[in-house]
C-alpha cells in the first residue's frame, strides 16, 4: 500500500553491492553493537569477510564468535572470566 510500518528495534540495511550500509531504528546498545557491526562487515565486505585471514582475525578478537555459548556452561564461564578480566570487573 506504499506506507511504512512502525517497528521496534534496530535493522541494518545495505545496498546490493555493499557500498553503502545504514542502521535504522534505535542505536544499538552494548548487547547488540558487536553483532550489528559484524553484520555490516559481512554485508559490505563480502569476499574479504569470508577470507581465512579475516576469519582468523575475527576469532582472535572475539574468541567466542560462531559458538553457541548456551550449549556449554564451561565455555561460557571461560568467556565470562576472560571478559571480566579484560574489563577489570570482579566475578
Q: Which of 7-21, 22-36, 61-75 has the highest mean pLDDT?
A: 61-75
**Residue 66 confidence (pLDDT):** 85
E strand intervals along the chain: 10-14, 21-25
pLDDT of residue 78: 93
**Mean predicted lDDT score pLDDT of the chain:** 85
DSSP tag of 27: P
Q: Which residues pair with 24 in a beta bridge?
A: 11
Which has the closest alpha carbon to 12: 4, 24, 29, 30?
24
pTM (whole model) above 0.75: no
What pLDDT, on a 0 to 100 scale, did the predictor assign at position 58?
93
Asked whether 41 and 66 are in contact (CB, 8 A), the reply is no
Amino acid at each position: 500500500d506504499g506506507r511504512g510500518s512502525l517497528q521496534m528495534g534496530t535493522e541494518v540495511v545495505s545496498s546490493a553491492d555493499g557500498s553503502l550500509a545504514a542502521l535504522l531504528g534505535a542505536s544499538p546498545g552494548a548487547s547488540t553493537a558487536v553483532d550489528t557491526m559484524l553484520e555490516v562487515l559481512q554485508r559490505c565486505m563480502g569476499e574479504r569477510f569470508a577470507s581465512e585471514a579475516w576469519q582468523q582475525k575475527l576469532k582472535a578478537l572475539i574468541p567466542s564468535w560462531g559458538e553457541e555459548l548456551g550449549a556449554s556452561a564451561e565455555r561460557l564461564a571461560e568467556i565470562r572470566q576472560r571478559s571480566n578480566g579484560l574489563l577489570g570487573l570482579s566475578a
